[in-house]
Homo-oligomer: A and B are copies of this chain.
Amino acid sequence: MPAKLAANRYGKSKVRLMRVTKHEDHHDLDEWTVQILLSGDFETAHTLGDNSKILPTDTMKNTVYSLARDSKATSMEDYAKELVDFLLGRNPQVTEAEVVIESTLWKRLTVDGKPFPTAFMRGSDEVQTTTVSRAQGAGFEIISGLDNLTVLKSANSGFVGYIKDELTTLPETTDRIFATALKATWEYTADAIAAGIDFDKVRGHLRETMIAAFAKHDSLSVQQTLYAMAEAALEHTDIIDEVYMRMPNKHCLLVNLAPFGQRNPNHIFVPTDEPHGTIEATIRRA
């Protein structure tokens, strides 16, 4: 039939990896969920069922564990780079390899007021993320970020001056709850990657910078706060040139207590999951 294969890729998703690193007097714990996706010369696999150029996804899974065993990388970005190069180096039929890692939060337990060396507690559903990709013969592209960082401010947020028409029912307010589950990604510049990056340190600082901007901002809209947070990130370091942010507006609705003869001075709310506002933007260094 007159059909042809256009874009295509394949790989393994949700490869879960837990790594316990044993130091003399304490253990460290990492939990990563890894995805590998390969693009390349897979035309006949699709059209003829010829698997001779197919690296099985089961082997990719084995590769995740085997490389993790020998790796000295402490950051997931550095480990992802090893994985990408291992796959490219052994598979000339692959034109580009992409590794996506999500890191799950674990915190060391505090016992009797002190950090306990070998026990941990799950943190929130926030995940730290990275996407490391490389084409054969080209440089790395590294986009790191975080997702599902749920934050809320109960002051310094309003929303006024918007378009009103006959379908408007939303009242203006200068005092509302602003809750969101932030997704942010930033791409490292080629120069920075070439020079070498302390990924965990940068990640921690960028996260702190964005959280501080969120808390302090005198918010006239989600858009304006999103922009301020991205701007703060770009100001913090010049090894990134662009930030993407998505901030759903997770509405907390003021309960109408008037039918019961009660006032409700921004005291009692209903948090809701749906519907929610969706605001997303990419902010670039000018």
Contact = CB atoms under 8 A, between A and B. Distances in A.
Interface of A: 1-22, 27, 29, 31, 35, 37, 42, 45-59, 61-63, 65-66, 68-70, 90-91, 105-106, 109, 111-112, 116-126, 149-156, 159-163, 165-170, 177, 211-212, 214-216, 219-224, 226-227, 230-231, 234-235, 242, 248-249, 252, 255, 257, 259-262, 264, 266-286
Nearest to A278: B13
A14 B263 CA distance: 24
17 contacts: A1-B234, A3-B227, A3-B286, A6-B281, A13-B275, A14-B273, A16-B272, A18-B252, A18-B268, A29-B154, A45-B224, A58-B168, A66-B260, A119-B215, A121-B149, A122-B150, A122-B151
Contact of A124 (B58, B121, B169): B121
B12 A257 contact: no
A224 B20 contact: no
A122 B125 contact: yes
B66 A277 contact: no
8 closest residue pairs by CB, A with B: A49-B220, A8-B281, A122-B150, A14-B274, A118-B155, A119-B215, A58-B170, A46-B227
A276 B13 contact: yes
A63 B53 CA distance: 40
A167 B68 contact: no
Given A12-B275, A122-B125, A149-B121, A224 B1 contact: no
A219 B49 CA distance: 8
Nearest to A266: B20
A7 B2 CA distance: 37
A18 B269 contact: yes
A87 to B, nearest CB: 11
B49 A116 contact: no
B8 A282 contact: yes
B267 A14 contact: no
Contacts of A27: 154-155
A176 to B, nearest CB: 11
B163 A53 contact: yes
B46 A224 contact: yes
A42 B254 CA distance: 28
